[in-house]
Every structure is written in C-alpha cells, then in structure tokens.
Amino acid sequence: MTGHSPEGETDTERRRRRAQFLRERTEAIELRDRVKPRRARAARMRQQMRMRTFRW
C-alpha cells in the first residue's frame, strides 16, 4: 500500500499534517531567502523566465 495514508488516519488529520508541513516549508524558504539574498534573486529570475516561456 504505497502512497496511501496509514491505517486509522482520518482525512482531517492528514490535512492538518499537510498544512503544518506547508507552513514550515514556506517559513524555511523565507529564511533561506533572507540568509542568501543573491540566491533568492536568481531563483526569482529563473521562475519569471519559466513563466514567460510557458505555453498555455
């Protein structure tokens, strides 16, 4: 049973854990951006270029 939630875990618990993970991930990214502003700027530029070249 790969990729499925463990037995007994409700949908609410899974969503709560996911929300917590996403909050921590966002916080970590913001911290990294403050510590390494040049790297963060380069990452933003790459993201902008990706969005510009993306075909809808």
What are the extents of the domains in the chain?
Answer: 13-53
**In the predicted model, is pLDDT for residue 1 greater than 50?**
no
What is the spatial distance between Cα 7 and Cα 46, in angstroms, rounded to a whole number?
41
Whether 33 contacts 40, CB under 8 Å = yes
Give Cα 45 to chain centroid, integer Å: 18
Q: What is the pLDDT of residue 27?
A: 95
pLDDT in tens, 4-56: 656 667 999 999 999 999 999 999 988 988 888 888 889 889 989 998 887 76
Q: Which two tokens stand for residue 39?
A: 């790297």
pLDDT of 25: 95
* Whether the model pTM is above 0.85: no
> Can you tell me the distance from the alpha carbon of 48 to that of 52, in angstroms, rounded to the nearest whole number?
6
Distance of CA 51 to the CA centre of its chain: 17
3-state secondary structure of 45: helix
